[in-house]
C-alpha cells in the first residue's frame, strides 16, 4: 500500500466515523431505531457512544496529515472494535434478532482485524522522501 492510499483509507474511515458518531450524538433515537437497537432504549448512552465515535472520526481525519498518528490511531481502533465485538457476544439476544446480533458481532470482529491489519501496514509504509 502506498502512503497516498493509506491517507485515503484514513480519510474514508474518518468520514465514516464522523457520520456515524454525529448521527448517534445528534439523533440518538434514529440511531437506536435504525442501527443500535440493543436492550432498552437509553438515548443518553447512545449520545455518549456518538461522542466517542465522532471524536475518533475527527482524530482519524487529523491523522491523515500526521503520519506519526497512523499506527496509534489504527491500533486504538482495532482495540476498540475488538472490545466492542466482545461485548456484543454477551448481548446477541438483545438485538432485533439473534441472527442480527451475531452478524453485528462478526462485523465488529472483522473491523478489529481490518484495523489491526491497517496498523501493521502503516508501520511498513516508508515515507515518500525515503524511497
Burial degree of 81 (CB within 10 A; 0-12, 13-18, 19+): buried
pTM, to two decimals: 0.88
Residues 122, 43: Cα–Cα separation, whole Å: 36
Nearest to 62 by CA among 13, 20, 108: 13
pLDDT in tens, 13-40: 999 999 999 999 999 999 998 887 877 7
Q: Which residue has the cell 509504509?
A: 125
What local confidence, expressed as pLDDT, does residue 34 receive? 86
Amino acid at each position: 500500500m502506498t502512503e497516498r492510499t493509506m491517507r485515503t483509507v484514513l480519510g474514508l474511515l474518518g468520514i465514516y466515523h464522523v457520520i456515524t458518531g454525529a448521527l448517534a450524538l445528534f439523533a440518538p433515537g434514529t440511531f437506536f431505531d435504525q442501527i443500535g437497537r440493543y436492550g432498552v432504549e437509553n438515548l443518553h448512552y447512545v449520545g455518549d457512544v456518538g461522542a466517542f465515535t465522532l471524536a475518533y472520526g475527527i482524530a482519524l481525519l487529523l491523522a491523515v496529515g500526521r503520519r506519526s498518528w497512523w499506527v496509534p490511531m489504527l491500533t486504538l481502533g482495532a482495540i476498540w472494535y475488538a472490545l466492542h465485538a466482545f461485548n456484543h457476544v454477551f448481548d446477541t439476544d438483545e438485538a432485533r434478532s439473534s441472527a442480527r446480533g451475531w452478524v453485528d458481532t462478526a462485523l465488529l470482529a472483522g473491523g478489529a482485524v481490518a484495523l489491526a491489519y491497517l496498523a501493521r501496514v502503516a508501520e511498513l509504509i516508508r515515507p515518500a522522501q525515503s524511497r
